[in-house]
Structure 1
Amino acid sequence: MRHLQTTKRLLLAAALAAALPFGMAASASAAGTLTLSSPQDPGSWDPIDTFLVNWSSVATNVYEGLVYRTPDLKIVPALATSWEVLDEGKRLRFKLRDGVTFHNGEPFTAEAVKFTFDRLLGEEGKKGPQRSNYAVIDRVNVIDDHTVDLVLKQPDPVLITKLAGYGAMIVPPKYTAEHDEAYINAHPVGTGPFRMTAYDPKVSVTLEPFADYWDGAPALDKVTYRFIAEPATAVAELQAGRVDVVIPPTIPISMVDTIKADANLNLVSVTSPTVYALRFNTRDGITADPRVRKAMIMAVDRGTIIDAILGGQAKQIASFQSELSFGYDPNMKPLPFDQAKAKELLTEAGVKPGAEVQIDIRGNDATFAEVSQAVASYLGMVGINATIKPYETNVLLNDIIPQGKTGAMFQQKWGGWTLDYDNTAYLMYHTGERWNPYDSDPKLDALLERQRSMTDPAAREKVLHGIAAYAADRALEMPLFNLNEIYGVSKRVKGFVAPPDNRIRLTGVTVE
């Protein structure tokens, strides 16, 4: 009997392997345990609670949305098999995949889609950071069990891409309604290829293959994510063979050559949408004056920082977006490094030598700590005394920045997960947004709102270029660099694809 059951499982896995939209072949046999090092425990696995890339590097394997963005950044079907745009962009109709179940056995139907978005856009969604990304959705209409309409308040040219990430991950209605927030945060249930079987906060997460996954069970028999904040520890564990993959942004540039020299390891570096800046407190102190902000930008030699500290693994940016972003203007140039002009602007603004500023950074980002020290040194050359204050990442992101409790400058790392400047610019610059605790500019608000309803890509891109130029003219941040995603990977690992957006999909991975 046992042999017969095994044979049936093998036949089922072979049948499921046909026509897979993700281009991943299923495997009926286990292929080892994969251990990954992640620098941060997101603290909650509920999709409506998060904005963190390190959430996505785990949860991409647990949850699914209506669509999926592949490692080559293409949008393909996931829980929806197809979609069409109706009513001049104000209604999106999705045909849903049949035969899909959640990890707890609940069936996936149109009701689950409606429940997910009603929850996201309702009272529970108000508590998290994702609601504003989907506020254009007026309601969800269930047409039948496998057809659903998203009715929009106005056209949203970025919505399809947004549906591939974070808050739009589909959750099981019955399970979610039966459990409280704390339980759901620690016990996620999705439709993905892996189910979470253990979670030890700030220590590790364990995933196991979901045998009933609609796309065929993955090959690995277990996946462990260890939360290792200290880069040197993560790299040491990789070298010792106790970790198979080190996820960005863990690996500091200073350790790149160490990994390259290890015969058992591969260093994988890919162009990323992630950009870094030091944003300004535009409300308080000397940085309330745009002349001072421009002076501070011109005081810092960003090109030398990229060469000397980042080992050339980055590109200088003029606006807070990468070249992968829709809205990126290749003709826009950063403010030049010019300390003489910087001193002139500081004198004009009445800033005396010895003025104090504080730079707030993530305490676990060793590479950026070096960058911030270099920035502080350059500022010192023009008479500004900068001190650096590191914070635990979750504290900085969940309390210090959103509550407007930063110093004069604060680290902002942003992946622009939609690969569209709207998702960066709106959240950074629009009045009242979480990442804009200090500034309010009616002209900028109007530009940001205008582009969200535009369906002509060329016209919308022109407006986005204007937004980038306007933000640069106001010097709302010191744009620094677009840093490559750097992965350390054991040569025992086969089939691993390093995605630019850190959304690691493990269905095709095996370990020797």
Structure 2
Amino acid sequence: MNSKRTLGGALKALAITSSLTAASLSFASTLTVSSPQDPGSWDPIDTFLVNWASVATNIYDGLTYRGPDLKLQPGLATSWEQLDDSKRIRFTLRQDVKFHDGEDFNAAAVKFTFDRLMGNEGKKGPQRSNYSAIDSVEVIDDYTVDFHLKAADPVLLTKLAGYGAMIVPPKYIQEKGEDFFNTHPVGTGPFKFSSYEPKVGIKLEAYADHWGGAPKLTNLNYRFISEPSTAVAELQSGRVDLVIPPTIPIGMITTIEKNPNLEVITTISPTVYALRFNTKNGITKDEKVRKALIYGVDRQAIIDSILGGQAAQIASFQSAISFGDDPSMAPLPYDPNKAMQLLKQAGIKPGTKIQIDIRGNNATFNEVSQAVASYLQIIGLNATIKPYETNVLLNDIIPAGKTGEMFQQSWGGWTLDYDNTAYFMYHTGEKWNPYDSDPALDKQLESQRSITDRAKRLEILQSIANYTANRALEMPLYSLNAIFGVSKRVKNFTPVPDSRLRLTDVTVE
């Protein structure tokens, strides 16, 4: 009897142990990521937000793919060739690929994706103009498509690797509707959608039949944590394995590094920060005032004192790794006397109020903006800071032209080509350019898009950088490194400059 009880107890203990082991294995195959923002829609044509891409790069595939080494490689297209003086591109498509819902990927899906992007649905979002060179997509056969272009676009192949060009399932969208697709995304990527709770998080699970092979993780969970201190606390507690940019404040890097279970990994980034000017209304309508504000702020001191060496000063709204950066350009120097002289010439009285609109969830930039406000106080201006919830600032305030005299603009420049920044910041009528209209600048921006000669394009892009700096359309601040907080349980993690993380090879111990 005793032996039976002993055997029964051993079997029960073994069952419990097996259960715990299974649970441990399940937990070990789950990566939990802290992302600072819910983009609000998972439709590729609805957003430009880096935090959308850091998730959706795992849900969707494009025709091309750009890896961590920043080199372009085949995605859903196995090859391509440029024809007719680069005004037609023929893509050979990957066969035997299915969307997560079982629908076949083929040429019809590619045509549907781009007809939708360039049509009425695409009009509602910010992506369409990025692909404006595309005139039409022609199905040659089930696995061959031709892109007919209005003009050559030297950056198009890179653009096809992200954002609006992600290939979507025709039947699924037609049957379920646009609104359902916004919150229940389906792609061909290595992870498929599991659940989404707005403002809380999105959960993905491995798609075993992915054409590139099954991910090593079973589950990939993203939590939307806007407060940096909360994200870091969750990383320290082990409830989060990875914190992605731009969450971690510079001041918290040391705290993370002191924890033996955590590490900080940084890499050079295309992300740049500026305070852009309202060039239509208020005192910043005057170019002299705009230049005075730039002269009046010691940007290098801000980098040294607040950013801890994780940033570099910029002269135009692009980083050093951007195609179009002019290394011979120098930022306007800190010169408060010059600033006050220009303000006096413009008739600006001491004590004049100026408002700076910022994203309220970025602790580091909050410190930066406080420093900017202090410098502006020194040259006689009464600067106030108005924080907004990120989506409100980006979707309601900036595009509608409802900002104060200065407003925060952070930009990833993910194509690593200045066109992707400059066109959307400066061309008349673009979403991120609610105030300015400059026909001469429009002409330059349009001209470089049809040029395939890299040297000639570079010359025009550098000219645009100098032109916009001379007009003082923004106060260029700095390019910031991509800063990741990572649990040492996470293996095979490779940081990428544009934060578009493809997490197929990551494991969690």
Counterpart of 1:309? 306
Shift of 1:254: 0.7
1:364 is matched by which residue type in structure 2?
A: N
| Superposition misfits of 4+ residues, deviation over 3 angstroms | none
Shift of 1:30: 9.7
2:391 is matched by which residue type in structure 1?
A: N
Question: 1:219-255, CA deviations, whole angstroms, 9 ceiling, x for partnerless residues?
Answer: 1111110000110000001001110000111000010
Counterpart of 1:207? 204
Counterpart of 1:14? none
Distance 1:178 1:411 in 2: 40
Do residues 77 (structure 1) and 74 (structure 2) align? Answer: yes
Question: 1:410-434, CA deviations, whole angstroms, 9 ceiling, x for partnerless residues?
Answer: 0000001111000110100000000
Do residues 88 (structure 1) and 94 (structure 2) align? Answer: no
Distance 1:230 1:185 in 2: 25
Do residues 378 (structure 1) and 375 (structure 2) align? Answer: yes
Other structure's SS at 1:35 match:
strand
Distance 2:495 2:379 in 1: 41
Equivalent in 399, 403, 412 of residue 402 of structure 1: 399
Show the 5 A alignment for 1:43-192: 43-192=40-189
State the TM-score, normalizing by the size of structure 1: 0.94
Counterpart of 2:447? 450
Other structure's SS at 2:85 match:
helix
Do residues 41 (structure 1) and 52 (structure 2) align? Answer: no
Do residues 461 (structure 1) and 467 (structure 2) align? Answer: no
Equivalent in 372, 381, 390 of residue 393 of structure 1: 390
Counterpart of 1:283? 280
Other structure's SS at 1:435 match:
coil
Distance 2:221 2:48 in 1: 22
Counterpart of 2:491? 494
Counterpart of 2:356? 359
Counterpart of 1:294? 291
Equivalent in 234, 237, 240 of residue 237 of structure 1: 234
Counterpart of 2:337? 340
Question: 1:384-411, CA deviations, whole angstroms, 9 ceiling, x for partnerless residues?
Answer: 1110000000000001000000000000
Shift of 1:51: 0.5
Shift of 1:216: 1.2
Alignment coverage as a number of residue pairs: 484
Do residues 254 (structure 1) and 251 (structure 2) align? Answer: yes
Shift of 1:110: 0.5
Counterpart of 2:413? 416
Distance 1:490 1:356 in 2: 45
Conserved? CA contact 1:30–1:220, under 8 Å = no
Shift of 1:46: 0.2
Distance 2:213 2:409 in 1: 39
Question: 1:323-367, CA deviations, whole angstroms, 9 ceiling, x for partnerless residues?
Answer: 111101111100010001011100111101001110000010010
Distance 1:455 1:271 in 2: 27
Other structure's SS at 1:256 match:
helix
Distance 2:307 2:193 in 1: 36
2:58 is matched by which residue type in structure 1?
A: N
Conserved? CA contact 1:31–1:219, under 8 Å = no
Unaligned segments of structure 2, at least 5 residues = 1-25
Conserved? CA contact 1:30–1:221, under 8 Å = no
Other structure's SS at 1:217 match:
coil
1:88 is matched by which residue type in structure 2?
A: D
Counterpart of 1:320? 317
Shift of 1:477: 0.1
Conserved? CA contact 1:299–1:378, under 8 Å = yes
Q: Percent identity?
A: 71
Conserved? CA contact 1:494–1:509, under 8 Å = yes
Other structure's SS at 1:89 match:
coil
Distance 2:304 2:322 in 1: 23
Distance 1:209 1:386 in 2: 50
Counterpart of 1:472? 469
1:342 is matched by which residue type in structure 2?
A: A
2:189 is matched by which residue type in structure 1?
A: G
Conserved? CA contact 1:30–1:219, under 8 Å = no
Equivalent in 435, 438, 443 of residue 435 of structure 2: 438
Other structure's SS at 1:342 match:
helix
Conserved? CA contact 1:71–1:498, under 8 Å = yes
* Structural RMSD (CA): 0.9
Other structure's SS at 2:193 match:
strand
Question: 1:13-32, CA deviations, whole angstroms, 9 ceiling, x for partnerless residues?
Answer: xxxxxxxxxxxxxxxx9961
Question: 1:56-101, CA deviations, whole angstroms, 9 ceiling, x for partnerless residues?
Answer: 0000000010001111111110100011111001001111001100
Distance 1:448 1:381 in 2: 37
Conserved? CA contact 1:327–1:461, under 8 Å = yes
Distance 1:83 1:365 in 2: 41
Distance 1:70 1:212 in 2: 20
Distance 1:387 1:450 in 2: 39
2:304 is matched by which residue type in structure 1?
A: D
Other structure's SS at 1:88 match:
coil
Distance 1:97 1:105 in 2: 16
Distance 1:252 1:378 in 2: 21
Distance 1:70 1:30 in 2: 28
1:412 is matched by which residue type in structure 2?
A: Q
Unaligned segments of structure 1, at least 5 residues = 1-28
Other structure's SS at 1:100 match:
coil
Larger radius of gyration: 2
Shift of 1:180: 2.0
State the TM-score, normalizing by the size of structure 2: 0.94
2:43 is matched by which residue type in structure 1?
A: D
